[in-house]
């Protein structure tokens, strides 16, 4: 029995190099953890987290993360944290609060002052 032809061997090596490059790019974007399983389907972003599948019309992956953390930490936990003075809150609740302020739509009267003339 003979091995793969030189042409087939070259194609195998090329595909292996391409896969290694894709994995390197993924690690640069996502880190060393498990790969993010996410795709779009009929206008919805579908994201798999462990054995859980979630879908919604998130525009970006950070949109998904903010939604997901609210579900996992619960509004009860968030409201309890918000009732505390800022210095006593859990670090993640302060980050969520700051991020939420930045993600709110800008009021129309402020938009006029931001737009280029």
pLDDT tens, position by position, 6-32: 999 999 999 999 999 999 999 998 888
| Greater pLDDT, 27 or 99 | 27
pLDDT higher than 80, residue 38: yes
Considering the domain boundaries, does residue 51 fall inside one? no
Q: Flag whether 82 is in a domain.
A: yes
Distance CA 65, CA 44 (A): 15
List helix spans (H) across 31-58.
none
* Residue 71 pLDDT exceeds 80: yes
| pLDDT at residue number 54 | 93
Residue 39 lies in a domain: no
**Average of pLDDT values for 40-50?**
90
Task: State the total domains in the chain.
Answer: 2
In a domain, 2, yes or no: yes
Exposure letters 56-88 (e unless 16+ CB within 10 A, then b): eebeeeeebeeebeeeeeeeeebeebeeeeeee
- For residue 25, tell me if it sits in a domain: yes
Which residue segment(s) compose the domain that 109 sits in? 74-117
The answer to whether position 18 is within a domain reads: yes
What pTM was estimated for this model as a whole?
Answer: 0.55
């Amino acid at each position: 029995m003979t091995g793969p032809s030189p042409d087939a061997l070259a194609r195998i090596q090329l595909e292996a190099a391409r896969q290694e490059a894709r994995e390197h790019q993924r690690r640069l974007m996502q880190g060393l953890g498990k790969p993010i399983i996410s795709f779009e389907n009929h206008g919805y972003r579908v994201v798999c987290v462990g054995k859980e599948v979630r879908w919604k019309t998130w525009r970006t992956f950070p949109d998904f993360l903010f939604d997901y953390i609210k579900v996992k930490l619960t509004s009860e936990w968030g409201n309890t944290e918000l009732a505390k003075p800022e210095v006593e809150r859990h670090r993640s609740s302060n980050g969520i609060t700051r991020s939420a302020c930045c993600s709110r739509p800008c009021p129309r009267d402020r938009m006029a002052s931001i737009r280029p003339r």
